[in-house]
A = this chain, B = another copy of it.
Amino acid sequence: MFKKVLVAEDLDSISIAVVQVLEELKVPVIHHVKYCDEGLLKVKKAMADKEPYDLLITDLSFKSDHRKVDLNTGDELIEAINKVQPNIKKIVFSIEDKSYRIKTLFNELGINAYVSKGRNSISELRNAIKSTFNNEEKILSSDLSFNFNDKALIEIESYDISILKLLSQGYILESISKEFKDLSITPNGTSSIEKRINKLKIYFKANNNVHLIAIAKDFGLV
């Protein structure tokens, strides 16, 4: 079993259960941080001390409070850790259940397992830890089981996200076009942007822009 595990989870009510699972599994060294920044520090320190962690279990969303932080989300934490210790095993434990988000985690951040917080997630987590230790790949908790090869959601790329972000900030088409020109993002004609929005509306079955943004918010895309 893993020898040294780092848990990044802000909610104390949840971290208690996660730590319990690790204790059950006889993990000798279990560290727990409530802020992403702390997590990165601990990983760096452990590397420097030649006693690196062999597993990270992290949440995705962290509450913001008075404290000023560099890393706001689990995604950012993983990205930062990948730069200093890319070989660390990574399990994400989050309430998020949107396939778009989760696929990105596997494909772009190289996580080993994703466990969705739910009614039986503790045993799912336990299994995921074991499977990860046995070098299984792309482990997904059973309530999710969507098709990894489904192209549909993958096709929504950062370009679309940029449009949705600006729309949600009250930009009109022309302003988005201008912003894209300033940032050298192409295509940037109002017409092209309009067309792209149209595709998104068809894809998400949205009646109009207002509806589209409401859906995007629900999906956690913006």
Contacts and interface: CB of A to CB of B under 8 A. Distances in A.
Identify the interface centre among A11, A208, A209, A222: most chain B CB within 10 Å of its CB. A11
A13 B65 contact: no
A16 B20 contact: yes
A211 B209 CA distance: 10
B210 A10 contact: no
Contacts of A95: 11, 63
Interface stretch (A82-90, A105-113, A115-123, A128-136): A115-123
A208 B170 contact: yes
Interface string A67-96: 000000000000000000000000001010
Interface of A: 10-14, 16-18, 20, 34, 63, 65, 93, 95, 97, 117-122, 125, 143, 167-172, 206-211, 213-214, 217-218, 222
A127 B170 CA distance: 42
Contacts of A171: 207
Contacts of A65: 118-119, 143
Top 5 A-B pairs, shortest CB-CB distance: A170-B211, A170-B207, A168-B214, A217-B217, A13-B17
A127 B206 CA distance: 46
Contact of A119 (B12, B20, B97): B12
28 contacts: A10-B119, A11-B119, A12-B17, A12-B118, A12-B121, A12-B122, A13-B13, A13-B14, A13-B18, A13-B93, A13-B117, A14-B17, A16-B16, A34-B119, A63-B97, A65-B118, A168-B214, A170-B208, A170-B211, A170-B214, A171-B207, A172-B207, A209-B209, A210-B210, A210-B213, A213-B217, A214-B217, A214-B222
